[in-house]
Amino acid sequence: MSDASQDQVFEFLCRMGDNTLVLGHRVSEWCGHAPVLEEDIALANTALDLIGQTQMWLGLAGEIEDKGRSADDLAMLRDVWDFRNLLLVEQPNGDFGQTMMRQFLFDAWHLAMLRALAGASHEQIAAIAAKSVKEVQYHVERSGDTVIGLGDGTSESHMRMQNALNLLWPYVGEMFVPDAVDDALAQAGIAPDLVHLRTEFDTHVGAVLADATLIVPEGDFAHKGGKTGFQHSEHLGHVLTQMQWLQRAYPGATW
């Protein structure tokens, strides 16, 4: 077992924290706009869970980096090219079905990742994962049940869910494309082998989509570039403009 560098661990922590930060913001956009009150509350709670996880991941990233940056600094004072989130989480909400399909695809990956990280050789990473997995277990059950309910519902809801799956499936591949950071952390016993993670993901997602009477799109094309910061969609800039504007307008302001 080899050791991952400090920079590689920092990079990985930013990926985990940026995923939950950006998706948490996206989900929060439904607050006050969801189809029914129950969904409005559930989505708000999901967003709060994700932002809470962000605080832990980016807080640890700041400690590892050791340059005096807090979780808030990393969230609010980095620009688009410094973010390391998956392209999937920055995609627009679309209709309710599209939001829940995006949530389910992320949740299925997130749960598998956190379960693996709970056994990491890095004690702080393992602790964050063990705490987060309890919340994400609920997230994936809820999003999976919603995908099934809408996919196997009316002809209209089925059509919308299939369209959402067709739109978002090409973003799934990026979750499982390893790079030097992934390889280094896997060799160090910190993060899982992404090939094994894909098998677990496919089994889980395949079963839910089958129950939802939805068909997985053919082809293995995958959008990528988000988790390395090489390329983000145009949507991330708009997300950060909304999320960061107060801190940018009043740097260092406190209550």
Q: What is the domain partition of the chain in residue ranges?
A: 6-249
Q: How far is CA 230 from the centre of its chain?
A: 18
Q: Give the per-residue pLDDT at 230.
A: 93
The contacts of residue 235 (CB under 8 Å, 6+ apart) are: 90, 91, 92
CB atoms within 10 A of CB 228: 15
Which of 20, 162, 18, 29 is closest to 93 using CA atoms?
29
What is the biggest distance separating any 2 CA atoms in the chain, rounded to whole angstroms? 54
Q: Looking at 35-44, 92-101, 116-125, which range is the least confident one? A: 35-44
Give the per-residue pLDDT at 200. 97
Residue corresponding to tokens 């959402």: 164
Query: What's the mean pLDDT in 181-191?
Result: 97
| pLDDT exceeds cutoff 90 at 254 | no
Angle at 157 between CA 103 and CA 169, to 5 degrees: 40
Q: What is the structure's pLDDT at 86?
A: 98
Q: For 147-159, what is the mean pLDDT?
A: 98
Contacts of 97 (CB under 8 A, 6+ apart): 150, 157, 160, 161, 163, 164
- Which pLDDT score, from 0 to 100, does residue 2 have? 62
Which CATH class, in words, describes the domain spanning 6-249? mainly alpha
- Model pTM greater than 0.85? yes
Select from 54, 126, 49, 109 the least CA-distant residue to 84: 54
Of residues 9, 217, 203, the one with CA closest to residue 109: 203
Instruction: Of 135-139, 192-196, 218-222, 230-234, give the lowest mean pLDDT range.
Output: 218-222
What SS3 class is residue 95?
coil
Average pLDDT over residues 173-188: 97
Q: Please state, for a pLDDT cut of 90, what percent of the chain lies above it.
A: 93
Confidence tier at 253 by pLDDT (50, 70, 90): confident
The pLDDT value given to residue 35: 87
Tokens of 4: 């991952």
